[in-house]
Amino acid sequence: MQQEYIAGLLNGDIKSLARCISLVENGAPGYESLLEALPASSPTKVIGITGPPGAGKSTLVNALIQHLLAAGKRIAIIAVDPSSPFNYGALLGDRIRMSQHYNNPDVFIRSMASRGALGGLSPKIIEVSDLVKAAGFDYLFIETVGVGQSEVEIAGIADTTIVVVVPEAGDEIQTMKAGLMEIADIFVVNKADRANADEFVKNLRILAHTRQNHAWEIPVVKSIATQQQGIHEIIAAIDKHQQLVSGNRRRHSLLLAEKAYQLIQYRRMTDISKKALQQEIEERLQSSSFNLYSYIRSKS
C-alpha cells in the first residue's frame, strides 16, 4: 500500500500526498521507509513566511497565491497553527483564511499543529515539507504561527525566509537585530498605507544594509496585501534570491545539517512524555528531598 502512495505522491496526486502526510504525522508503522524513498532533490521553492502576530502574513500569502496561480504555478501551503489546548490538533485557521483557494486543484493547503514547539513550527514540519516537495509543486509556503523571535528555526527549513512587519514596529526596529533581523532574506513591510510607513521602510533599509554580504543585500518591499500592491515585487525578490541560493552547495549543506540536527534531536526525545514526567514529578514531590537536577540526571 505504501508503494502505491509513494507512486501517487511522485506523480503529484493530492490524495496520495495527504495520505502520506497523515502517515508521517501519526508515526504509522513503516513511515520511515516512505521517507527514505523520496528523491534526493526537488525544484520546489520553499518560502518561509514569518513575523509578529497581526502583520498580515495570511493575507499576504493569499495575495501571493493569486499572483502565482495567474502565472500557471502549482502552490502548496503549510499553515502552522497554535495547538488546541485540548487535543493538540491544529485549529484549522487556514481553512478560514484561505477558503477561496481550498478547492483549487493547483493549490494544496495543510494545517499543522505547533504542539508547543518553541519555534512556532511543528516537530514534523521537516518531513512533511519534504513530502510536499516530492509532489512537484512550484512553490511551497510555510506560514508560521507568529510567536516572535523564537521563530528563527524557520531559517533552517526554508530556502528563502520572508519576514513580514508593519509600520507600527518602528519602535522595535533595534530589537530586530537580535531576532528576526538575523534570519530575513526579504523584508516585507505590509499595510504600507499606514502612517509613518515611509520612514519605517527607510530605517529598515539602513539596518538591512548593515547586514549586506557580497552576494545579497536584504530587500525591503512595501506591500498592501489586501489591495494586491507590492506582490509582483515580492515574487521578483523571491525568484532573485532563489537563483542566488540554488547552486550554493555550502548553503545547501548548512540547511541539510540543520534539518539533520533537528530530526535527530526530535527522534531521541520520542520516548519522553511530558504528561508522564508531570505524573512522576507530582508523586516525587511528596518527598521534601526532591531536586529537579538530580531527577534530570537520573533520566539522562
- Domain ranges within the chain, ordered by starting residue: 1-38, 41-268, 274-300
Instruction: Report the predicted TM-score, pTM, of the whole model to 2 decimal places.
Output: 0.84
Q: What is the pLDDT of residue 63?
A: 93
Residues in the chain: 300
Longest dimension (CA), the chain: 67
Q: What is the pLDDT of residue 26?
A: 87
Q: What is the pLDDT of residue 246?
A: 81
Q: What is the pLDDT of residue 44?
A: 94
CATH class of segment(s) 41-268:
alpha beta
Whole-angstrom Cα distance, residue 238 to residue 241?
5
Rg from Cα positions in the chain: 21
pLDDT < 70 regions, the chain? 1, 81-100, 102, 114-123, 145-153, 169-180, 212-214
Q: Which of 187, 144, 146, 183 is nearest to 167 (CA)?
A: 187
| Secondary structure of 214-279 as H, E, C letters | CCCCCCEEECEHHHCECHHHHHHHHHHHHHHHCCCHHHHHHHHHHHHHHHHHHHHCCCCCHHHHHH
Q: What sign does the CA torsion over 274, 129, 63, 182 have? A: positive
Q: How many CB atoms lie within 10 A of CB 252?
A: 14
Main-chain dihedrals φ then ψ at residue 149, nearest 5 degrees: -70, -20
In this structure, what C-alpha cell is assigned to residue 217? 543585500
Q: What is the pLDDT of residue 111?
A: 83
Q: What is the pLDDT of residue 150?
A: 43
Cβ-contact 129, 47 below 8 angstroms: no
Q: What is the pLDDT of residue 195?
A: 86
